[in-house]
């Protein structure tokens, strides 16, 4: 009864102000992270150039050291047999030894300065990377808070009377959404975004090559550019396919799995993926098809990314009253009893299986691969 007496409009105003403040903070942190990322990229470029200069100075110093040693030896010989040489010869030997000694001193000083700058750049890069990681983490946390404030908690409250259940339910949904967004953001950043950035750099290079070396050389650069654009397009299509393969709605689970696993095998050249289907190839209710596809997708991705598997076997058997799935890999394995804070994918898989009233077993040992068995009752 006390809740009904709360001024809803005043509460909405407070929540809106909180949302505005949280969003402004998120944008500011994002801007700081982007500035750090730009500075990080500049330092990476400078560090690469500094390292090249250090190698060049060291090689030059080694050559000067040999020449200086020979010049000092020559000067010692002339000094011992001073009367056998003319004044001009003595002066030339002395000046040559002095010049080489001076150049060697300057070279060593330059090497020392370059090494100091290199070490400083490496320290600053570590600090910038830490700032970027912290900014990304803060943006992610703020997004969760913002989404939780924006979400319609009132409707959830009508279904879930217990306040604790309502809070846990909302946060778990938001965390799952945010984890998926973070994964997608990483894939776009590491895939298409990097490729497009390289395309921009290579397009400038093609223009420079055209000016300096003529159209034939620039044509080679343009062909290379086309391959990079084709790779970027492939990455975008793969990400879209991972989000929701349209074939799942049109063709059903088994044809979609065949196509998906074949695509993943083609994309990961070093991994062999074997797919075995036993039983009828009938359409299942949508909740089963989506859940099973996501379970197999998550298992295969884990085997590729974390286990570094070379061979993956996916077996699905559709019986009259249940569905049995086996995913086995020859990767490096892990300890299933060890609790990890980042095992969100496995937790999500267990939740999906639990919703369908099924069971999931994970068997793994370090160095001996991993086997996942999923059994889901099929309700007519």
3-state secondary structure the chain: CHHHHCCHHHHHHHHHHHHHHHHHHHHHHHHHHHHHHHHHHHHHHHHHHHHHHHHHHHHHHHHHHHHHHHHHHHHHHHHHCHHHCCHHHHHHHHHHHHHHHHHHHHHHHHHHHHHHHHHHHHHHHHHHHHHHHHHHHHHHHHHHHHHHHHCCHHHHHHHCCCHHHHHHHHHHHHHHHHHHHHHHHHHHHHHHHHHHHHHHHHHHHHHHHHHHHCHHHHHHHHHHHHHHHHHHHHHHHHHHHHHCCCHHHHCCHHHHHHHHHHHHHHHCCCCEEEEEEEECCCCCCHHHHHHHHHHHHHHHHHHHHCCCCCEEEEEEEECCCEEEEEEEECCCCCCCCCCCCCCHHHHHHHHHHHHCCCEEEEEECCCCCEEEEEEEECCC
The pair of structure tokens assigned to 11 is 């509460």
pLDDT confidence of residue 314: 95
pLDDT confidence of residue 207: 76
Judge: domain 246-377, CATH 3.30.540.10.
no
pLDDT confidence of residue 80: 79
- CA 358, CA 322: separation in Å to the nearest integer? 9
- CATH for 7-150, among 1.10.287.1490, 3.60.15.10, 3.40.50.300, 3.40.190.10? 1.10.287.1490
- Alpha-carbon Rg for the chain, nearest whole angstrom, is 32
pLDDT confidence of residue 180: 62
- CA 159, CA 221: separation in Å to the nearest integer? 61
- CA 267, CA 194: separation in Å to the nearest integer? 17
Order of strands, edge to edge, in the sheet holding 311-318? 272-279, 311-318, 322-329, 370-377, 359-364
Per-residue pLDDT of the chain (380 residues; tens, 9 = 90+): 344 444 556 666 776 777 777 778 778 888 887 888 888 888 888 888 888 988 998 998 889 889 888 888 888 887 877 777 777 887 888 888 888 889 989 999 988 998 898 898 888 888 888 888 887 888 777 777 666 666 555 444 444 444 455 455 455 655 656 666 666 667 676 666 676 777 777 777 777 777 777 777 777 778 777 787 877 777 776 666 666 565 677 788 898 899 889 988 888 888 999 999 998 777 888 888 888 998 998 899 889 888 888 999 999 999 888 999 999 999 888 877 775 544 556 777 888 888 888 999 999 888 889 999 999 998 76
Where in the chain are the domains? 7-150, 154-243, 246-377
The pair phi, psi for residue 371, each rounded to 5°, is -125, 130
């Amino acid at each position: 009864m006390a809740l009904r007496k709360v001024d809803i409009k005043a509460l909405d105003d407070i929540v809106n102000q909180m949302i505005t403040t949280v969003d402004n903070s998120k944008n500011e942190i994002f801007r700081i992270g982007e500035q750090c990322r730009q500075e990080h990229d500049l330092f990476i470029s400078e560090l690469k150039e500094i390292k090249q200069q250090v190698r060049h100075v060291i090689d030059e110093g080694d050559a000067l050291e040999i020449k200086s040693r020979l010049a000092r030896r020559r000067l010692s010989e002339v000094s011992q047999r001073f009367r056998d040489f003319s004044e001009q010869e003595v002066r030339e030997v002395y000046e040559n030894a002095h010049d080489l000694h001076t150049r060697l001193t300057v070279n060593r000083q330059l090497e020392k300065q370059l090494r100091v700058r290199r070490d400083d750049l490496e320290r600053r890069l570590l600090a910038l990377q830490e700032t970027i990681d912290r900014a990304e983490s803060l943006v992610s946390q703020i997004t969760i808070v913002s989404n939780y404030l924006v979400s319609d908690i009132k409707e959830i409250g009508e279904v879930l009377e217990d306040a604790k259940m309502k809070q846990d339910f909302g946060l778990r949904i938001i965390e799952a959404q945010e984890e998926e967004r973070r994964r997608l953001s990483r894939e776009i950043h590491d895939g298409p975004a990097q490729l497009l950035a390289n395309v921009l750099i290579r397009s400038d290079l093609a223009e420079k090559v055209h000016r300096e070396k003529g159209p034939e050389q620039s044509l080679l650069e343009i062909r290379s550019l086309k391959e990079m654009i084709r790779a970027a397009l492939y990455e975008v299509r793969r990400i879209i396919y991972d989000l929701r393969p349209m074939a799942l709605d049109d063709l059903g689970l088994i044809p979609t799995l065949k196509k998906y696993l074949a695509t993943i095998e083609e994309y990961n050249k070093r991994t062999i993926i074997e797919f075995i289907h036993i039983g009828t190839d009938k359409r299942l209710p949508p909740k089963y098809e989506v859940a099973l596809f996501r379970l197999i997708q998550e298992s295969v991705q884990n085997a590729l990314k974390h286990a570094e598997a070379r061979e993956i076997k996916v077996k699905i058997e559709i019986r009259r009253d249940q569905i049995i799935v086996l995913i086995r890999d020859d990767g490096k394995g892990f300890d299933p009893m060890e609790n990890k804070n980042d095992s969100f994918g496995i937790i999500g898989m267990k939740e999906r299986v639990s919703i369908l009233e099924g069971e999931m077993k994970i068997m793994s040992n370090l160095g001996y691969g991993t086997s996942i068995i999923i059994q889901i009752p099929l309700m007519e």
